[in-house]
Amino acid sequence: MDEAVGVESNQIHELGKRVMGNARLAEAYRSSTLRLYDHRRQAIAEVPGFEALRERARALKREVITHLDYYLEQFAASVERRGGKVHWAVDAREACALVIALARECGAKEVVKAKSMVSEEIELNHALETAGIRPVESDLGEYILQLANERPAHIVAPAIHKTRGDVADLFERHVDPHRAEEPEELTAVARQALRTVFAEAGMGVSGANFAVAETGTIVTVENEGNIRFSTTAPRVHVALVGIEKLIPRFQDLAVFLRLLGRSGTGQKLTSYTSILTGPRRLGEDGPDEMHVILIDNGRTRALADEKMREALYCIRCGACLNACPVYRKIGGHAYGWVYSGPIGALITPELAGLKQARELPFASSLCGACREVCPVKINIPDLLLHLRAQAQETAAATKPPGSPVREHTAMRLWAWLMTSSRRYAWSARWARIGQHLVARSGWIRSSRFFPLSAWTRDRDLPALAPRSFRQRWKDLESEEKDT
Ligand code: SF4
């Protein structure tokens, strides 16, 4: 997104602190991500050769991204051959303008939307409303967020941070004054409100989980059936497709579908997989017209960077979010844009520009949990380090020399201590003596002294062991000698 509408990724510290200071929100993120993480773990344990499957998926994505020009042309030709129409959008503005023009052409005053992260990325709802067209989200999570006027907090589970009570409040205020409390009742309220929209909307907009170059097929996966409604009930279907969504052949779907559900929610397959190839033919159900908008919006920038193009392998399963200790603590909104978690920290700077999202590559402990769970084996920590280096270079070029004095001094002092074993041992000895003032039962839980205070404000710090490794080693040696 060249214009980076609404990107405020540099507020990650402030926004993250707000979540950590809100016990209800913090618990919602913690319990939901842990549950999804655990479901994934159980689901992949049942698949023999899961590693080989990941390797295969990675190889397929590498093939398609390396030869993206070829596969895009093949895809466009296949769509047109099946009676669909292909449009190309360089950025968010062009993509929105195309959707609006198509809605006006078919006289749609209301557009029903299936869950689509790329539509969030281009801020389609805002553009449609400004053009006097009413967008209605049909995915339950997205519908809740539309009522709350919020962005998705998770790639797969957009309303992951909302409790049942939150949803009941929203529905009571905006949809039906008779308060519903139980999940089944709440779903029924949403379903009732949406059924009329499906019947009346002139146009349906969806994203695509995969776009098959060989056949021109759009594939969507979901659990509610709303995507199927949105793409087949209205007379016109518009699919918004990021150019990285391509896979080469129809048979390759088998690889990706086995990975996607298991990695995202721990399901063997999601409840619905829709395979849409062109508009309806004689005797079929479905839309009269099918349009595919292929969206760049910064993706070719990532493609041009040989290292970063690996980020385009992502199939948006959300597994890295569930595994990430940082995401679990600060939640999705702290990342400031539509994509959150480790993959958000990678692609937001690529799509929105590093200037708007300079802090995101630093929002990681580099523990590698994201890499471990990624179905296409994206080396996220490595790419984050690459972005960090770029961010530092930009910062060094734009900041007046000497501005980060405190940081520089701290780093030089750290380097001075760490590059000499004698100095390291000496500093550890003093730290051990000093920590008696603040450590209790092996932990430093709060401290008034900077920089410890900055750390312990939000989390505990394990105290240094009473004896150093060297000391223990020495003691062991003398014990051995004695025996
Ligand atoms: S980076 Fe990997 S784990 Fe994260 S959303 Fe993308 S495919 Fe899933």
For 239, the 3-state DSSP assignment is strand
Share of the chain above pLDDT 90, in %: 65
For residues 42 and 3, the model is more confident at 42
Q: CA–CA separation, 236 vs 87, rounded Å? A: 15
* Same domain flag for 427 and 287: no
User: How many domains are contained in the chain?
Assistant: 2
Q: CA–CA separation, 378 vs 323, rounded Å? A: 14
- CB distance 102 to 89 below 8 Å: no
Residue 5 has pLDDT above 80, yes or no: no
Q: CA–CA separation, 146 vs 171, rounded Å? A: 11
pLDDT at position 4: 38
Q: CA–CA separation, 150 vs 24, rounded Å? A: 17
Q: Of the candidates 265, 300, 335, which is a domain's last residue?
A: 300
Residues 6+ apart with CB under 8 A from 65: 244, 303, 309, 310, 312, 313
Whether 403 is covered by a domain: the verdict is: no
> How far is residue 470 from each of residues 184, 233, 418, 431, 444, measured CA to CA in Å?
61, 71, 15, 15, 23
Q: Of the candidates 248, 266, 300, which is a domain's last residue?
A: 300
194-206 pLDDT, tens per residue? 887 777 888 999 9
Q: Whose CA is nearest to atom 3 of ligand 1?
A: 374
What number of residues does the chain have? 483
Residue 16 has pLDDT above 90, yes or no: no
Residue 398 has pLDDT above 70, yes or no: no
43-72 pLDDT, tens per residue? 999 999 999 999 999 999 999 999 999 999
* 316 Cβ below 6 A of ligand 1: yes
Whether 448 is covered by a domain: the verdict is: yes
pTM for this prediction: 0.86
Q: Ligand 1 pocket check: which of 44, 343, 373 to mutate, most ligand atoms within 8 Å of Cβ?
A: 343
Whether 19 is covered by a domain: the verdict is: yes
Residue with tokens 């050769």: 49
The mean pLDDT value of the chain amounts to 91
Whether 401 is covered by a domain: the verdict is: no
Whether 21 is covered by a domain: the verdict is: yes
In this structure, of 19-28, 52-61, 391-400, the range with the lowest mean pLDDT score is: 391-400
Say which CATH number the domain at 161 has.
Answer: 3.40.50.10420
Whether 463 is covered by a domain: the verdict is: yes
- CB distance 350 to 310 below 8 Å: no
Beta-strand ranges (E) seen in 30-174 are 85-89, 110-113, 134-137
Range(s) of the domain holding residue 65: 9-300
Residue 396 has pLDDT above 70, yes or no: no
Q: Give the confidence band of 168 by pLDDT, cuts at 50, 70, 90.
A: very high
* Same domain flag for 280 and 427: no
Q: Which two tokens stand for residue 445?
A: 């839980």
Q: Of the candidates 278, 300, 322, which is a domain's last residue?
A: 300
Whether 375 is covered by a domain: the verdict is: no
Query: How confident is the model over 155-165, as a mean pLDDT?
Result: 92
* 375 Cβ below 6 A of ligand 1: yes
Residues 6+ apart with CB under 8 A from 232: 204, 285, 286, 287
* 374 Cβ below 6 A of ligand 1: yes
Q: Whose CA is nearest to atom 8 of ligand 1?
A: 317
pLDDT at position 479: 83
Whether 179 is covered by a domain: the verdict is: yes
